[in-house]
């Protein structure tokens, strides 16, 4: 079968970025640029030209900007996204007949050949220009037309034919009767800025009371907000705040049977008090929750809600929608298990249900319910145990109405599944940072995350700890280590989070041999000193402030590790959208001072060769005047980092 128009000789191939053939969009936040590359191919020796076209989903017309040839048939174009939602982008390529003509006639004129016929051949290009150029160019183009029409070589026509002005008009108003376009399914999803730059704090509302032993309330949480804001956090994540199952409830330290008075795991959602759209009666009512959300907003803090799609045996859905749970041949409902282990307190949702459409709709309703109550950020529990196509649909549906909603994926699983969840729509993801400690591990992991297609869709959120993970190194209450791990998380990644109270106080006791906190808040009310100020809170406050002040720390992908011949010292440069730069140097050894010679990569450093430049340590306020690319650095464990702002 012949193509639609066989006169078009150009083809576009290998558009980058394009995720899974355009099935998924890439991601940006408002204000960012999208860099696109493509091969533009055609037969013969005519000059080619190319452009990048884009439009917001709400627009009919395409915008367009010229692309640049970068060699070997590869072209590069870029555009800036300014609005939330989807943009489409396409590469365009065509034979540039007018420029080919101008180049050819130029050579012939230079060789002294008669070009009367060639001049006549230029007239269609002028005719095209007359239809599109501004008033100010009309006279010029008409003059060209008159001179070319003579049909004989003449000096005036030669000058006009080869003039830069004509070349510029040809470039600005391409004559392209035939044009190739890449498929229109390459898209970018644009989030609000917080998708890229956010600082999370986590605590359990039920531990928010200032009175030891007393169950916290939303009103108690409200009192803690100023401290969270003062430390520089902008997102406050609460584990589930819904009613907790009373049937087969777990006891403290994951005990199979609860003792009287045990509050249970807040991830065991649902009871006679309600399910996913209800609140735990001991925490407060909807009104007090909404008051909390509003007060937080006034302090620059968004409350992130947990979306944990699983049910306690007494969750209302279990009775109302038996088809949403796996029914066993003996008439019981399938509880969670990891054979031979059994978790009778949790009924997983049965996504293979024949009633899956109603199930999906109901979950969408849950999310929309909380959005309606003022929630804009969801931390999603174990998304890797619910179907990928479900998330793709759910997040897509939510964003049709609310493009500003942020979903953080709590998936600790195989890399490709984590990536797939990011592709399917999750805004941010938990990562392996929690287990990347050595210099080599950190460099390798950051290179994985910040380069190539992964960096177009996966936005890491680095957490040094979570209620589920008390990492082995932090089971040693070493202050330098606690300082360093938060510093690394907050400077390597523009999205960072911490399970705060235990971190600040270096609560490190674990279930023996496991990365579980002992006496975990997951199963109990705990009491914390909400007035605590120490080196760790000081560090958090300081580095969080630096993140607010430095564009370079508000993004993750523009990072470059520096050579430093000491495996305990990690150094990296980050560059912001505004070309500002910071240099971080970290001593990874909590026990020893280390020094070494740092090599700054000139090809990345926005400073001239041999120029003097100022560096100011944002952590200590010390300033230095530097020159050249090699600098001696020394760091001791007490305050094991520099964070230099570089001023050229």
Residues lying near a copy of itself in the complex (CB under 8 A) are found at 1-3, 6-9, 11, 13-14, 20-21, 39, 41-45, 72-73, 103-105, 107-108, 110-111, 113, 116-117, 120-121, 123, 151, 178, 328-330, 332, 337-340, 351-354, 356-357, 360, 383-390, 393, 414-417, 420
Q: Of 422, 439, 354, whose CA–CA distance to 383 is shortest?
A: 422
- Joined tokens for residue 415: 């890399």
Which of 118, 248, 314, 410 is the catalytic position? 410
Beta-bridge partner residues of 38: 75
Q: Enter the DSSP assignment of 637.
A: T
Three-class SS state of 191: strand
CB of 305 to a copy of itself, least distance (A): 21
CB of 162 to a copy of itself, least distance (A): 13
Q: Look up tokens 């001049």; give the residue.
A: 119
The rounded distance, in Å, linking the Cα atoms of 127 and 172 is 15
Beta-bridge partner residues of 89: 54
Element (DSSP H or E) covering residue 480:
helix 479-492
**Cα-based torsion angle of the residue sequence 174, 177, 180, 183 in order, rounded to the nearest 10 degrees:** 100
CB of 104 to a copy of itself, least distance (A): 4
| Shorter beta-carbon distance to a copy of itself: residue 9 or 297 | 9
| Shorter beta-carbon distance to a copy of itself: residue 308 or 583 | 308
| Shorter beta-carbon distance to a copy of itself: residue 134 or 352 | 352
List, in order, residues 6 or more apart from 359 with CB less than 8 Å away.
321, 323, 324, 349, 351, 353
How far does CA 551 lie from the centroid of its chain?
15
- Joined tokens for residue 507: 């609560």
Q: Of 75, 66, 63, whose CA–CA distance to 16 is shortest?
A: 75
CB of 628 to a copy of itself, least distance (A): 35
**Cα-based torsion angle of the residue sequence 51, 57, 61, 65 in order, rounded to the nearest 10 degrees:** -20
Q: Of 213, 215, 216, 268, whose CA–CA distance to 242 is shortest?
A: 268
- Joined tokens for residue 9: 């000789």
The rounded distance, in Å, linking the Cα atoms of 462 and 433 is 6
Contact 52, 92 (CB under 8 A): yes
The rounded distance, in Å, linking the Cα atoms of 15 and 148 is 40
| Shorter beta-carbon distance to a copy of itself: residue 9 or 291 | 9
Which of 381, 420, 504, 645 is the catalytic position? 381
Contact 421, 385 (CB under 8 A): no
| Shorter beta-carbon distance to a copy of itself: residue 387 or 628 | 387
CB of 391 to a copy of itself, least distance (A): 9
Q: 572 — phi, psi (to 5°)?
A: -150, 150
| Shorter beta-carbon distance to a copy of itself: residue 383 or 500 | 383
Contact 353, 272 (CB under 8 A): no
CB of 492 to a copy of itself, least distance (A): 24
β-strands 302-307, 235-237: how paired?
parallel
Contact 175, 128 (CB under 8 A): yes
| Shorter beta-carbon distance to a copy of itself: residue 260 or 329 | 329
Q: Enter the DSSP assignment of 466.
A: B
CB of 250 to a copy of itself, least distance (A): 20
CB of 416 to a copy of itself, least distance (A): 5
Q: Look up tokens 């907003």; give the residue.
A: 297
CB of 75 to a copy of itself, least distance (A): 12
| Shorter beta-carbon distance to a copy of itself: residue 1 or 401 | 1
CB of 396 to a copy of itself, least distance (A): 8
The rounded distance, in Å, linking the Cα atoms of 411 and 388 is 12
CB of 455 to a copy of itself, least distance (A): 17
| Shorter beta-carbon distance to a copy of itself: residue 61 or 354 | 354
List, in order, residues 6 or more apart from 307 with CB less than 8 Å away.
366, 367, 378, 379, 380, 381, 407
Give the number of residues written for the chain.
Answer: 648
**In which region does residue 570 sit, left (phi positive, over 0), alpha (psi from -120 to 50) or beta (all else)?**
beta
| Shorter beta-carbon distance to a copy of itself: residue 173 or 356 | 356
CB of 157 to a copy of itself, least distance (A): 14
- Joined tokens for residue 599: 């090599």
List, in order, residues 6 or more apart from 609 with CB less than 8 Å away.
602
| Shorter beta-carbon distance to a copy of itself: residue 161 or 582 | 161
Q: Exposure of 269 by Cβ count < 10 A (0-12 exposed, 13-18 middle, 19+ buried)?
A: buried
Q: Exposure of 622 by Cβ count < 10 A (0-12 exposed, 13-18 middle, 19+ buried)?
A: exposed
- Joined tokens for residue 440: 């080599």
381 is catalytic: yes
| Shorter beta-carbon distance to a copy of itself: residue 274 or 387 | 387
The rounded distance, in Å, linking the Cα atoms of 425 and 394 is 9
Contact 243, 317 (CB under 8 A): no
Residues annotated catalytic, as ranges: 381, 410
């Amino acid at each position: 079968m012949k193509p639609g128009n066989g006169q078009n000789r150009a083809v576009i191939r290998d558009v980058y970025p394009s995720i899974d053939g355009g099935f998924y969009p890439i991601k940006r936040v408002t204000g960012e640029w999208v860099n696109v590359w493509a091969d533009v191919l055609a037969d013969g020796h005519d000059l080619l030209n190319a452009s990048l076209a884009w439009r917001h989903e709400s627009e009919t017309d395409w915008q367009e900007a010229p692309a640049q040839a970068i060699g070997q048939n590869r072209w590069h174009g870029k555009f800036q996204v300014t609005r939330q939602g989807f943009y489409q982008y396409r590469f365009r390529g065509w034979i540039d007949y007018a420029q080919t003509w101008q180049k050819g006639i130029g050579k012939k004129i230079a060789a002294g050949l008669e070009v009367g016929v060639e001049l006549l051949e230029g007239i269609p290009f002028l005719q095209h220009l007359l239809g599109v150029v501004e008033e100010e160019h009309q006279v010029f183009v008409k003059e060209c037309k008159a001179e070319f029409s003579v049909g004989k070589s003449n000096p005036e026509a030669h000058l006009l034919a080869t003039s830069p002005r004509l070349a510029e008009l040809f470039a600005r108003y391409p004559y392209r009767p035939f044009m190739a376009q890449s498929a229109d399914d390459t898209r970018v999803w644009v989030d609000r800025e917080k998708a890229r730059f956010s600082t999370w704090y986590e605590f359990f509302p039920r531990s928010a009371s200032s009175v030891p032993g007393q169950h916290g309330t939303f009103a108690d949480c409200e009192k803690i907000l100023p401290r969270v804001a003062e430390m520089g956090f902008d997102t406050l994540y609460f584990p589930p705040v819904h009613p907790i199952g009373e049937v087969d409830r777990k006891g403290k330290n994951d005990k199979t049977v609860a003792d009287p008075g045990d509050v249970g795991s807040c991830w065991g959602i649902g009871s006679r008090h309600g399910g996913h759209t209800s609140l735990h009666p001991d925490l407060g009512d909807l009104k007090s929750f909404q008051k909390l959300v509003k007060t937080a907003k006034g302090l620059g803090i968004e409350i992130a809600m947990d979306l944990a799609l699983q049910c306690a045996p007494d969750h209302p859905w279990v009775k109302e929608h038996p088809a949403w749970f796996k029914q066993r041949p003996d008439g019981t409902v399938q509880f969670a298990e990891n054979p031979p282990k059994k978790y009778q307190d949790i009924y997983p949702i049965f996504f293979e249900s024949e009633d899956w459409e109603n199930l999906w709709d109901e979950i969408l309703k849950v999310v929309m319910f909380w959005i309606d109550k003022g929630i804009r950020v969801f931390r999603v529990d174990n998304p890797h145990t619910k179907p990928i196509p479900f998330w793709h649909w759910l997040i897509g549906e939510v964003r049709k109405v609310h493009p500003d909603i942020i979903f953080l994926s709590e998936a600790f699983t195989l890399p490709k599944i984590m990536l797939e969840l990011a592709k399917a729509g999750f805004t941010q993801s938990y990562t392996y940072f929690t287990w990347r400690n050595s210099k080599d591990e950190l460099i390798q992991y950051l290179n994985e995350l910040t380069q190539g297609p992964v960096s177009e869709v996966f936005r890491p959120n680095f957490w040094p700890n979570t209620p589920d993970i008390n990492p082995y190194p932090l089971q040693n209450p070493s202050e330098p280590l606690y300082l360093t791990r938060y510093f690394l998380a907050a400077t390597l990644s523009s999205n960072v989070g911490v399970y705060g109270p235990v971190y600040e106080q270096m609560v490190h006791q674990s279930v023996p041999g496991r990365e579980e906190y002992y006496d975990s808040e997951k199963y109990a009310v705990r009491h914390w000193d909400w007035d605590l100020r120490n080196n760790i809170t000081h560090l958090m406050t300081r580095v969080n402030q630096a993140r607010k002040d430095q564009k370079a720390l508000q993004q993750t992908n523009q990072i470059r590790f520096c050579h430093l011949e000491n495996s305990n010292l990690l150094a990296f440069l980050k560059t912001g959208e505004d070309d500002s730069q910071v240099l971080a140097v970290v001593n990874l050894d909590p026990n020893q001072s280390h020094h070494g010679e740092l090599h700054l990569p000139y090809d990345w450093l926005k400073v001239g060769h041999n120029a003097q430049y100022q560096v100011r340590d944002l952590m200590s306020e010390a300033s230095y005047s530097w020159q050249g690319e090699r600098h001696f650095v020394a760091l001791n464990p007490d305050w094991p980092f520099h964070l230099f702002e570089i001023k050229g």
